Amino acid sequence: MKTFYVTTPIYYPNDVPHIGHAYTTVLADVLARWHKSNGYDVFFLTGTDEHGLKLQRSAEKAGKTPKEFVDEMVPIFKKYWGLLDIQYDRFIRTTDPDHEELVGRVFERLHEKGYVYKGKYSGWYCVSCEKFYSEGEYVEKDGQKLCPIHNKPLEWVEEETYFLKLSAMQDEILHLIEEGNIIKPESYAREVANRIKKEGLRDLSVARPKSRVYWGVELPFDKDFVAYVWIDALLNYLTGVGYLRDNSRFEKYWPSAHHIIGKDILWFHSAIWFSVLRMLGVAPPKMLVVHAYIVNRGLKMGKSTGNVVMIDDLLERYGSSDAVRYLLMRLLNLEKDVEFDQNLLDSIYNGELADTYGNLVRRAGVLALRRLNGEVVKAGLDESLASLATEVISKTQQLMGDLKIAESLSLSFDLLREANAYLNRTQPWSSEDPNKPLYNVLEAIRISTNLLYPVMPKTSEIVSRSLGFEIIPPPNLAYGQTQLFKVKDAPILFKKV
């Protein structure tokens, strides 16, 4: 059986997740559901990144131990993923015992292989990024050095550390990134390749002294240090499928690994992650899917920028997880930032979900019940709807394979719009033979509903139950294959805002 292993980044549980997190997570869920319905054996991993100085300090501020702090945050993440109908297979926490054990074992291996060596480090450090910034990277203002992302003062840190010999990997990794066809869209691969060519792949400090950062995984070969939180976090993708623990499981899923990430963490997920994997003798992931952001007032959403849009607000405004999932995927753009615009979302919601889809389902259901007692049998196919539907099925397969989710949604809506026009033209409410037009309208609804299933699973189930058809795998879908619709209900799917 073909496998599909999909991951989201593990999120920092220092605050409630917002629609930026939801954007990535819904995308991963849609890909997971799409592959599942295409017959793949899917494993979907998400979770939380719980170690490091940033969380240590957030916990201190809240008067709690780091573990108490993260234990309270994890249920909040799970609650939101439940509200958005995210069907993950494991919620991994970097404090999980199997993960902590794996981090230790990986460091031991890297150390034994000579990739980890002791050295001294000094530099300007951003606690929020958990990252050093060199000259040219940080922003200087009023004699202060500021983080280019957080706009907060950097701290001067001078300490002993362990380095990971990334420089030894430079040529191989540059080649892999340029030729490996792993990073999608390709513009991001070029970005990483250019950066490697410009500044080289420098050795990376991968340990923190316990005297400063106690909240992390201890290095097995030196108890005075903990693992750098970024390496700790990246390794979750290996823990999730049983690396060094369950070999057959690891070999089953790892070759199909798809990491979904936002563009801000591209460097760590490509240059650094691919290097670590190569040092371990593990193949790179099959695909690294990178997306741009939903921005608000031109800026990436964040606590410090104060422009966060909450998941609750969207759920309340649009009334269902499916509507929110649809809107997020409708905006999805991997390469360009998309501005959050409430008016635009309202008009997409009203125009597409309420008027086009919802209204058609309602009308078709009511007419089938009133005029045919709910029994609509197979009749002559309308040629133009049939040929459009056939095209929509095959193009959707192709677009979903190319990660063009927003484009694939618009195809299903082309078919629904055509069906609306056809319904108005054929007027089954007054025609003598309402069966043929209603059969064709129901077929068009059935095809679109099947194709929209990964994005709107609950709605698809309501429509299929009400109109009396089944959700089937997209490869088996064909216009005209239904013998009989047994319509039971004419649901109102979306109330206008």
Q: How far apart are CA 341 and CA 300, in angstroms?
A: 14
CA neighbor of 109 nearest in space, from 221, 271, 272: 221
Angle between helices 311-318 and 66-83 (to 10 degrees): 20
Q: How far is the CB of 267 from Zn ion (least distance, A)?
A: 14
CB nearer to Zn ion: give 129 or 369. 129
CB nearer to Zn ion: give 149 or 282. 149
CA neighbor of 6 nearest in space, from 49, 46, 48: 46
| 8 A C-beta contact, residue 283 and residue 255 | yes
Q: Which helix (H) or strand (E) holds 158?
A: strand 155-164
Residue 142 CB partners (closer than 8 Å, separation 6+): none
Q: How far apart are CA 265 and CA 91, in angstroms?
A: 20
Q: How far apart are CA 57 and CA 215, in angstroms?
A: 10
CB nearer to Zn ion: give 128 or 420. 128
CA neighbor of 403 nearest in space, from 186, 115, 252, 94: 186
CB atoms within 10 A of CB 210: 16
Q: Report, as residue numbers or ranges, the catalytic residues.
A: 18, 21, 126, 129, 147, 150, 300, 303
Phi (first) and psi of residue 34, to 5 degrees: -60, -45
CB nearer to Zn ion: give 153 or 220. 153
Q: How far is the CB of 149 from Zn ion (least distance, A)?
A: 4
Does residue 400 interact with Zn ion by CB under 5 A? no
Per-residue interface string for the shown chain with Zn ion, residues 137-176, x marking contact by CB under 5 A: ----------x-xx--------------------------
Alpha helices per DSSP H over 1-65: 19-37, 53-61
CB nearer to Zn ion: give 149 or 381. 149
Task: Tell me, by CB under 5 A, how many residues bind Zn ion.
Answer: 6
Q: How far is the CB of 58 from Zn ion (least distance, A)?
A: 14
The radius of gyration of the chain from alpha carbons, rounded to an integer in Å, stands at 26
Q: Which pair of structure tokens corresponds to residue 386? A: 């049939």
DSSP state letter for 284: P
CB nearer to Zn ion: give 74 or 149. 149
CB nearer to Zn ion: give 265 or 369. 265
CB nearer to Zn ion: give 15 or 346. 15
Helix %, strand %, coil % of the chain (to 5): 50, 20, 30
Count Cβ neighbours within 10 Å for each residue of 445-484 and write b for 16 or more, e otherwise.
Answer: bbbbbbbbbbbbbebbebbbebbbbebeebeebebbebee
Q: How far is the CB of 11 from Zn ion (least distance, A)?
A: 16
Residue 146 CB partners (closer than 8 Å, separation 6+): 138, 139, 140, 152, 153, 154
Per-residue interface string for the shown chain with Zn ion, residues 106-135, x marking contact by CB under 5 A: --------------------x-xx------
CB nearer to Zn ion: give 165 or 300. 300
Phi-psi label, residue 151: left if phi above 0, alpha if psi -120 to 50, beta otherwise: left
Q: Which pair of structure tokens corresponds to residue 389? A: 């539907």
CA neighbor of 296 nearest in space, from 319, 318, 278, 313: 313
- Per CB under 5 A, residues contacting Zn ion are 126, 128-129, 147, 149-150
